[in-house]
Amino acid sequence: MSRTSRRAAAIAVALGALMLVGAGPAPAAPAPTDGSHESLVRATLAANEGSVRLSTNTIQLDKGLVMTLPGKRGTATTSQARGVCNYQYFCVYQHAWWGGASLGMSACRVYHLSNYQWWNAKEKHWEDWALDTSSWINNQSGGAVATMWHPKGYTMRVGVTSDHHMPPGWNDMVVRARPC
């Protein structure tokens, strides 16, 4: 086989592999059909392939990763948020004051937040979690330190019982997180 033929064969194999793994953006999930909470939950399940509904407002997105959709209330107080962020979890929130949707992480791994979608009802479109995190709670035990990554490569490490709003330059700028 000539060098050109081998190169062409390698390119064909690579292109075939890309097609198999679904290279390129995923098709947009359907928008919630009405303003109901049930419609929001169903659309969120459709937008996050492989997700599983756990309760009326919680969805397991991945191993050790649970999204909690907001109820009819707006923001939460610290004590209410502590109830939402389960013990042994690190949680990030869509809004300051621990409000909006949240992601609870328990498995010791890096979560790429752009892999997970939520419906922005105000702007009427799907968004991923990367670049939309405004507060956090580290509700783990012992010396567990969570790490968050900024798109410019900076890291922020937060210890146990730490809960806060994003500092200047970090609001809506978290692209990855690891709870341990």
SS (H, E, C) 53-98: ECCCCEEEEECCEEEECCCCCCCCCHHHHHHHCCCCEEEEEEEHHH
Is the pLDDT at 24 greater than 60? The verdict is no
Is the pLDDT at 26 greater than 70? The verdict is no
> What is the arithmetic mean of pLDDT over 96-108?
91
Task: Please name each of the domains of the chain with its CATH number.
Answer: 30-178 (2.60.20.10)
Lowest mean pLDDT of 12-21, 39-48, 53-62, 137-146, name the range. Answer: 12-21
- The C-alpha atoms of residue 69 and residue 95 are separated, in whole angstroms, by 12
71 and 37 Cβ atoms separated by less than 8 Å = yes
